[in-house]
Structure 1
């Protein structure tokens, strides 16, 4: 599992199962975090130049963007399937 520097990820008594390995990202490494790449894709392609009347409308737009990525592995692979992630297992 890839983890960033969030306090909950650095908690000393964190119990990690034997069948799991934590791969810690270096500090300030947004370019290495696949979740950041997904958010960037959503911001650029799903939320660009839009104004929402409510939080519910923004959440619905986020769900539409997520569903679009879920349906397209060809679009998702370059964003998250980096070699260093694939080789860390």
Structure 2
């Protein structure tokens, strides 16, 4: 997920006839959040990278593997399908094009966007810090992570895998 200072306008409930005014940042500065989720146990792992290139993804995947993550679900972004990524040894499940709704991590991203977008931060570090606080709050509440990501078809498929 790209977290940057180019703000996104958010919808708000207002009385009828009241015009919404939102401040918006227009700075081309960002970080990328690489996130893994265990929808059965409700656990999260994440790392921030400055550029979403195959080398940085490779380093994060090595860390994921060391943490015990056995497989990742990817979309088909160029950095996700590079040969270097396959060499890491973490099995990947590639999603069909244009299907983010199939990836449980996207639900965590939606929750993050809902909380951190629509505000002016001034510095990327402050926005990353706000995202970190939310990620830590989610980590402390596994039942919430399970509710967001533990869809029956995913948990049934994971539980049916051989041990």
Structures share a fold, TM > 0.5? yes
Deviation of 1:48 after TM superposition, in Å, equals: 4.5
**More helix, by proportion:** 1
Total equivalences in the alignment = 86
**For residues 23-42 of structure 1, what are the alpha-carbon distances to aligned partners after superposition, in whole Å with 9 as ceiling and x for unaligned?**
21110001112222111101
Residues 8 and 52 (structure 1), Cα distance of their counterparts in 2 relative to 1, 3 Å cut: closer
Per the alignment, residue 137 of structure 2 pairs with 68
Match of 2:101 among 31, 35, 39: 31
**Which ranges in structure 2 are unaligned for 5 or more consecutive residues?**
1-71
Matched residue, 1:80: 149
User: In proportion to residue count, which structure has more strand?
Assistant: 2
Aligned position for 2:122: 53
Report the TM-score when normalising by structure 2.
0.45
Checking the alignment, whether the CA contact within 8 Å between 2:75 and 2:100 is kept in structure 1 is no
Residue of structure 2 in register with 1:15 after alignment: 87
The CA deviation at 1:7 is: 1.5
Larger Rg, first or second structure (1 or 2): 2
